[in-house]
Amino acid sequence: MPFDAATLLSQLFTGLVLGTIYVLLALGLSLIFGLLTVVNFSHGSFYMLGAYLGFFVLGFTKNFWIALVVAPLLLGLLGLLTERWLVRPLYGRSIDDPLLLTFGLSLVLVEAARLVWGKMGLTFDPPAALAGAVNLGFTYFPAYRLFVIAATAVVVVALWLFLERTTLGLVIRAGTRDALIVRALGINLNLVWLLVFGIGCALAGLAGVLAAPMRGVYPEMGVTIVIESFVVVVVGGMGSLLGAIVAGLLIGEVVSLTTFFAPKMADIVVFLVMAVVLLVRPSGFFGEAGLME
Amino acid sequence: MLTVDAIHTYYGESHVLQGVSLRVDAGEVVALLGRNGAGKTTTLKSIMGIVPARRGTIRFDGADITRLPPHLVARRRIAWIPEERRIVPNLTVYENLRLAMLKAPVDGKEASARLEEALAFFPRLRERLTQNGKSLSGGEQQMLAIARGLVAGPALMLVDEPTEGLMPIIVRNLTEILHAINARGTSMLLVEQNLEVALALARRVYLIDQGRIEFEGTPDDLRGHPDLLRRYLGV
Ligand SMILES: Nc1ncnc2c1ncn2[C@@H]1O[C@H](COP(=O)(O)OP(=O)(O)OP(=O)(O)O)[C@@H](O)[C@H]1O
Ligand SMILES: [Mg+2]
């Protein structure tokens, strides 16, 4: 096997890019789970829809940047509708009910995508400005992938500022730990739940558009990655955003390195990581025990 | 001010409050006493709309609040100081207080005056404003729970066992503070295991047992009935 430091570094970079997609998906899942205790299984389908809608907005406008903004907004809107009309009636019931519902929704959406857009994948070209490769010193790395890393960093910082510095962020942080006291202090959490579900879905849509030029657009594109993202959430600790970031990047690296050094292991390595982490720390890196109660 | 009229409250099939009636008039401290499991906390939760009463009515300042959700009850200036304190652990002391002021029906200037007033009662909280909720001692958590109720400018406070598990000196301190809060015009419905604290603060007392009110009277009436104290409080 050809091996040198430059190859390793470029593989680490590839892992970082994959990790950012996990991070974006896991952040949405974790936000939604942390506040609403809903395991949103339709997240992968929202990611897929983000890619398709991005593709069509790009087709209409010929402008990648508009697609990058509009598709997540549309997904956010779809998230609002999903919370309001499908998930909300299930609050107060067992945690399995919204899980089954969103699982069903994800099947419907994948099937609908096959019907509407066909089973063939689409090719999504990165914007011309990011088409080339950049010399990193040790290797040439696609400019678009560097952009994905930077864009994720911006989103993570923006989300952090939103949660730490705004009033709504304060309510979300409090509601994640004790929804009842927040309501007893006069705050209507229904609106906050709605909004957080929308934000989570918008993040899935963003991940879909960002991933599309690297991974293609096809109806099943969200099926595997959503499961891997669930693993990220569990490894990071259910409901922990810091955990989603750390575990997302870690699993991105693990998958990338395994694909390179031991390709046969690539499909199961995420689950191995999960098993090991859960054996050592049952609530994940940053999880608070008892969140599932 | 507050009138609870024959409420019945259930947890699933379990019939916990079986026709509880009580009244708190403006400016009063009213104590609700009873054994463990008698239904004291459930009464407060029914008033707050957390476990709504299935039958009966709850009126506050003339309006029917029986079926209001908790956030709308709170906005009518009723503050709940829960038994478990429920300080949000991942927020600082200041953020816990700010949370309580977000929807309080007061303007910015009055809000900062209330914050000052609450911190004047609890100087220890002022020293710990930037400290996380989870790092507070039990006594400090109770202080914060009361302060968090105060900053919303409540007309009525539902206080659930404020002295539970605290050292005698802190119990005395809290008793004085609750008295001072009431002297400034806030009515209270006080649930308390510490009989001395309850009788020192309350103008009227209700005894509750198995979800029914068994006695209503003044602290002096109750002192004159050691049989009642034995039967319903086990003292
Ligand atoms: N969430 C719940 N689900 C089912 N039953 C409950 C629940 N909470 C309380 N109960 C039951 O309702 C009854 C009244 O409970 P409540 O908490 O009101 O008592 P309490 O008078 O506040 O007691 P304590 O002094 O121990 O706080 C008890 O029998 C209790 O077991
Ligand atoms: Mg109680």
Lowest-pLDDT choice from A62-76, A123-137, B115-129: A123-137
> 3-state class of B55 per DSSP?
strand
Amino acid B105: pLDDT: 65
- Judged by phi (left if over 0) then psi (alpha if -120 to 50, else beta), residue A238 lies in beta
Q: What does A7-56 look like in DSSP terms, one character per residue?
A: HHHHHHHHHHHHHHHHHHHHHHHHHHHHHH----TTHHHHHHHHHHHHHH
Model pLDDT for residues A232-274, shown as the tens digit of each residue? 999 999 888 999 999 999 999 999 999 988 999 988 999 999 9
Domain annotation covers residue A257: no
**Amino acid in position B216:** E
Amino acid A27: pLDDT: 96
Measured between alpha carbons, how far is residue A97 from residues A40, A177, A262 in Å? 11, 21, 39
Interface of A with B (CB under 8 A): 167, 170-171, 173-174, 176-178, 180-189
- Give the number of domains in chain A: 1
Beta strands in chain B (DSSP E): 2-11, 14-24, 29-33, 55-60, 63-64, 78-81, 156-160, 187-191, 204-209, 212-217
How many of the other CB atoms lie within 10 Å of CB of B167?
12
Q: What is the DSSP code (8-state) at residue B159?
A: E
Model pLDDT for residues B167-195, shown as the tens digit of each residue? 999 999 999 999 999 999 999 999 998 99
Measured between alpha carbons, how far is residue B112 from residues A11, A103, A181, B106 in Å? 55, 48, 22, 10
> 3-state class of A208 per DSSP?
helix
Amino acid A289: pLDDT: 52
CA distance A63 to A90: 40
Amino acid B230: pLDDT: 86
Lowest-pLDDT choice from A59-68, A120-129, A254-263, B226-235: B226-235
Give residue A132 CA to ligand 1 midpoint distance, Å. Answer: 67
Q: Helix axis angle, B108-121 relative to B168-183, nearest 10°? A: 150
Q: For residue A19, what are its two tokens?
A: 């990790």
Range A126-140 average pLDDT: 88
Judge: B89–A177 Cβ closer than 8 Å, yes or no: yes
Protein fold of B1-77+156-235: Rossmann fold (3.40.50)
pTM of the model: 0.91
With cut-offs at 50, 70 and 90, classify the pLDDT of residue A87.
very high
Give residue B17 CA to ligand 2 midpoint distance, Å. Answer: 13
**Could you tell me if A10 and A228 are in contact, meaning their C-beta atoms sit under 8 angstroms apart?**
no
Range B22-28 average pLDDT: 96
Check pLDDT > 60 for residue A199: yes
CA distance B137 to A178: 19
Ligand 1 atom nearest residue B34's Cα: 21
Judge: A189–B103 Cβ closer than 8 Å, yes or no: no
Residue among B82, B86, B103 whose CB faces A186 most closely:
B103
- The nearest CA of chain A is from the CA of B235 a distance in Å of 33
Q: B14 in ligand 1 pocket by Cβ < 6 Å? A: yes
- The nearest CA of chain B is from the CA of A32 a distance in Å of 18
Q: B41 in ligand 1 pocket by Cβ < 6 Å? A: yes
Judge: A171–B99 Cβ closer than 8 Å, yes or no: yes
Q: B38 in ligand 1 pocket by Cβ < 6 Å? A: yes
φ/ψ of B154, rounded to 5, equals: -75, 150
- The nearest CA of chain A is from the CA of B88 a distance in Å of 6
Closest residue in B to A171 (Cα) is: B99
The residue with tokens 């007309």 is B155
Cα R_g (chain A), whole angstroms: 19
What does the domain layout of chain B look like in residue ranges?
1-77+156-235, 88-153
Residues in B touching A289 (Cβ below 8 Å): none
* Portion of chain B with pLDDT greater than 70, in percent: 99
Q: B40 in ligand 1 pocket by Cβ < 6 Å? A: yes
Range of the domain at A159: 14-125+140-219
* Cα maximum dimension of chain B: 51
Amino acid B114: pLDDT: 87
Range A150-168 average pLDDT: 96
Domain annotation covers residue A91: yes
Task: Specify the residue with its C-alpha closest to ligand 1, atom 26.
Answer: B36
Check pLDDT > 80 for residue A288: no
CA distance B221 to B227: 12
Cα R_g (chain B), whole angstroms: 17
With cut-offs at 50, 70 and 90, classify the pLDDT of residue A290.
very low
* Portion of chain A with pLDDT greater than 70, in percent: 97
Give residue B43 CA to ligand 1 midpoint distance, Å. Answer: 10
- Return the best residue to mutate from B10, B22, B33, B41 for the ligand 1 pocket (most ligand atoms within 8 A of CB): B41
Amino acid A238: pLDDT: 86
Range A118-123 average pLDDT: 90
Task: Specify the residue with its C-alpha closest to ligand 1, atom 3.
Answer: B11
Amino acid A57: pLDDT: 96
Q: B42 in ligand 1 pocket by Cβ < 6 Å? A: yes
Amino acid B110: pLDDT: 81
What interface predicted TM-score (ipTM) does this complex get? Answer: 0.94
